[in-house]
Structure 1
Amino acid sequence: MKFVPLSRVILLELKRNGYNILTSKNTVDDENPTWYPLTVPDVDDYLLQLDCSGSIVPEEEQVLLVIEDALDNIHEGQLLGEVFIEIDNLGELEDKIQFYGKKYQFISDPEYYVFSFDPKRVLIRNYALRTGNHLLYLAYIGVNYPTHIIDEIRDLEDLTRSLICLDQEQAREWFSKHDVTMVQSDISIFEKDAILTIFLLGTEQQIKIPLEDKDELIYNLMHIEELLQLRDLFWIDPRIN
């Protein structure tokens, strides 16, 4: 992953790779936003959904760019900020699918793998959230879990807007501020790309692991102090239900 200055060359490269939107967690008055590329099935539908759920305070609205519109209407000198780009993710995803497949064999029998515990789905969702490329995940859901497609579109878009990536010190401060002592990963907690969700002790967990083998590669729990020693970059789902 890397940050690169926003430019027409970068916009053209992103378009060539299938991205159609840049979104930012910065507000509209920020002069140096950090952009995150997205691929959404329909740009107009995506913008309409944002309009329906947007902030009533204009200054608090997050900014976005439609890549095609930016290329047509914005001059080089008007492009501000940096773009967060993941490198060679699709190749990494394919490697992970092969590795996880050796353990799980991606059996599709619903009596063996329920929706929440489909390792291949979890891997592709992780990729979609980190890269902003939603199409691969939505295609997988459409084929394998069509009854979940509407909920997954909403959740994917919601989490893409709120997902944060922190260094070790930032993560330590964030966990401390929110009194988080334990997290749960999506893919293996030992993967640097694992997305971490807040595990609240004493609450009912929605995820049920239907296998007797407890040494799983997904949905691992770990205490924060142990986790902070493992890596220097942390993807966090900040939503606390």
Structure 2
Amino acid sequence: MRFTSLSRPLLLDLKCRGYNLLTSYNSLDLSNSTWQPLRVHNVHEYLLQMNFNGSNTYLKKPTILVIDQVLKHIDDNKFGGEVFVEDDHSQRLQQKCRLYDLRYHFTANPEIYDFSFDPQRLLIRNHALRTGDHDIYFKYLAMYYQEHVTYERRDIEELTGTLMCLDANQAEKWFKKHHVTVMESDIWICDEDAILKVLAVKEHDHHWGILDDTEEMIYNLINPQELVLLRDIFWIDPRII
């Protein structure tokens, strides 16, 4: 993973790799922002969906730029900043699947796993959300969990538009602002690629048992105070129930 300065060669490279959008949550100044590249199937439909996407006050809508439009104006110095780029993400996914298979043996025993507890599905979903490569996830669902395709397609497209990538300082402020008490990771909590969702805030009455179980590599629970000590990058699903 690396941050690369926004430039015409980078945009052309992203376009060749299938990316068509840039998103940012700290883009008050378009010339000095941090951008995340995304792939969506239909840019026009995606932008329409984002414009009409609910009114949840917890969600901060991102700034979205169409790469083709940015290319037309990149020489006008209107756009700048850095782009978060992950190299060799397909190879990275394969490596993770092999690692998790050593723990869960899902290749040899797929019948013991279902949709709610399928480590390979979670790894592929995580990859799809962070890289914008949604097709690989939908193909996996069509092969193994066809009944979940429609719901998951809606959920993935919604979360793609709100998923945040924050540094430690930004994440700590966000946790405090929303009074977050418990987070849950999709994959291993010590992996910076893990996507974190809010499981509890101060207003919730339920008390969650946070176990120090380093053997489990999915659905780890952790409080924000410990979480900010583990990593420099935080992928956060900002939807709060």
Q: Do the two structures share a fold, i.e. TM-score over 0.5?
A: yes
CA distance in 2, matches of 1:159, 1:204: 27
Residues 80 and 176 (structure 1), Cα distance of their counterparts in 2 relative to 1, 3 Å cut: same
Determine if the alignment matches structure 1 residue 103 to structure 2 residue 103.
yes
The match for 2:20 is 20
**TM-score using structure 2 length:** 0.80
Name the CA distance, whole Å, in 2 between partners of 1:226 and 1:61. 27
User: Could you say what secondary structure the match of 1:115 adopts?
Assistant: coil
Is 1:135 the counterpart of 2:135? The answer is yes
For residues 1-40 of structure 1, the aligned pairs below 5 Å read: 1-25=1-25, 30-40=30-40
1:209 matched residue in structure 2: none
Opposite residue 108 of structure 1, the aligned amino acid is P
**Matches of 1:220 and 1:149, distance apart in 2:** 25
2: CA distance, partners of 1:158 / 1:113: 26
The residue identity in structure 1 corresponding to 2:113 is Y
The alignment covers a number of residue pairs equal to: 227
Query: After superposition, where does 1:55-66 map in structure 2 within 5 Å?
Result: 62-66=62-66
TM-score by length of 1: 0.80
Paired residues for 1:200-219 under 5 Å: 200=200, 202=205, 215-219=215-219
2:94 is equivalent to residue 94 of structure 1:
yes
Q: Distance in 2 between matches of 1:70 and 1:228?
A: 34
- Give the superposed CA RMSD: 2.9
- Report the equivalent of 1:181: 181
Q: Which residue is 1:208 aligned to?
A: none
What SS does structure 1 have at the residue aligned with 2:116?
A: helix
Does residue 80 of structure 1 match 2:100? no
- Residues 54, 89 of structure 1: alpha-carbon distance in 2 compared, 3 angstrom cutoff: same
Partner of 2:123: 123
CA distance in 2 between counterparts of 1:47 and 1:176 reads 30
Stretch deviating more after TM superposition (141-150 or 96-105): 141-150
Match of 1:221 in 2: 221
Deviation, 1:218, is 0.4
Q: Which runs of 5+ in 2 are unaligned?
A: none
Structure 1 unmatched ranges of 5 or more:
206-212
Task: Encode CA deviations 1:147-197: one digit per residue, 9 max, x unaligned.
Answer: 222221221122222222222233222222222222111001121211111
User: 1:161 is matched by which residue type in structure 2?
Assistant: G
Match of residue 159 from structure 2? 159
Instruction: State the Cα distance separating 1:11 from its structure 2 match.
Output: 1.3
Partner-residue secondary structure (3-state), 2:172: helix
